[in-house]
Structures are given as C-alpha cells and as structure tokens.
Amino acid sequence: MIDASRGFDLRAAFAEHGSELFAVAVNALRDRGQAEDCVQETFLRAWRARDRFDPTLGSVRTWLFAIERRVVLDVFRARERVPRTVPHDDARDVDAGVADPLERLRMVEGLARLSAEQREAVVAVHLDGATYAELASVTGVSIATLRTRVFYGLRALRSHLDGTTT
C-alpha cells in the first residue's frame, strides 16, 4: 500500500478494502447512497493524509477503517442537525424504539472483526434465530464446533462493545 518511492497507492487500497468499507457503511447507515459517499470521503481523506500514515502503528486496512468510522460519525451528527417533522396527532416520542446509531456502528464494527465462521454462526443463531441443529444441517459443521464458534465470537464481540481486549 505505502511505498516511500511511489507514495500511497489509492487504487490498490480501494481494490483491496473498498468493498469491506462499503459493507460496513451500508450496515451502519442503512442508506446505500450515503454509504457510497462515506467510502468516497474515506479515500479522499486518506489521500489527503497519506503523508501522515505510519505503517509501524497499524495496517492500511486499520487506518482506513479508523478514517471511515469518523466519516460515518460525521454523517450521524449531520442527520441529528436536520429537524425531523412529526405529525401533529402523533404524541409519541420520535426516538422511541429507535436504536442508537453509534451503538449500531459499534456492533457492526464488532461483527466485522470476527472471523467469517464466527460471524456466520453468531448471526445465524442470535440474530436470525436458527438452532444449532438447523445451522449444522445447512453448513455441515458439527453442533459442538458451532457452539464453540458462537461462544468465542460472542466473547470477542462483548470485549469490543465493552472496550476491552480478549
């Protein structure tokens, strides 16, 4: 990604990480158009800050995801500045039952950090409501292995959400 003689290779970074950045942005924002804008802004900021990238502090992937996180937070802040209209006869709280967007972003980030196998098992069992037996029949993986994947996946996810490390 970074070569002192050539500089930041934007095309290679986009080819390698663009789809993952887009998927995280779509999951966080629930809006494909805004997600596309976020990925574009992420690479624009990365290009502008290319001279400040230090490969000894982390990978290009980590650096890009950190930039994207700030871009997504900026979108959430901008959304909060736009007034929402509420029908006059609707006396309920506008935000009742709406999940905190920052919490949703942390959850998406946590799921993205899991291995593909752990993420598949956690999502199937805890979000889709599949039983271990159903998942085992679909994937061909033993129930014991699926339980282990879910256990360690949830532990890693909990650590991410709590801000601790495993």
Q: What pTM did the predictor assign? A: 0.52
pLDDT at 87: 61
Comparing CA positions, the residue from 60, 58, 70, 61 lying closest to residue 25 is 70
Sorted by sequence, the CB contacts under 8 Å of residue 13 that are 6+ apart come out as: 1, 43, 46, 60, 64
Nearest to 123 by CA among 55, 35, 27: 27
Domain(s) labelled CATH 1.10.10.10 in the chain stretch across 114-162
- What was the pLDDT predicted at 2? 46
Task: List where CATH 1.10.1740.10 sits in the chain.
Answer: 2-81
Q: What is the pLDDT of residue 36?
A: 95
Check residue 161 and give its pLDDT.
Answer: 82
Q: What are 3's strand-pairing partners?
A: 7
Q: What is the pLDDT along the chain (166 residues), one digit of tens a residue?
A: 444 434 578 899 999 999 999 999 999 998 999 999 999 999 999 999 999 888 888 889 999 999 999 999 999 888 888 766 656 554 455 455 556 777 788 888 888 888 989 989 998 888 888 889 988 998 999 999 999 999 999 999 888 888 765 4
* Neighbouring residues of 156: CB distance < 8 A, sequence distance ≥ 6: 110, 113, 114, 118, 166
- What pLDDT score was predicted for residue 56? 86
pLDDT of residue 49: 92
Architecture of domain 114-162: Orthogonal Bundle (1.10)
Look up the CATH number of domain 2-81.
1.10.1740.10
- Output the CA torsion 70→12→107→31 (10° steps): 70
Q: Nearest to residue 54, comparing CAs of 12, 14, 2?
A: 2
State residue 143's pLDDT score: 92
Provide the angle, in degrees to the nearest 10, between the axes of the packed helices 60-81 and 10-29: 40
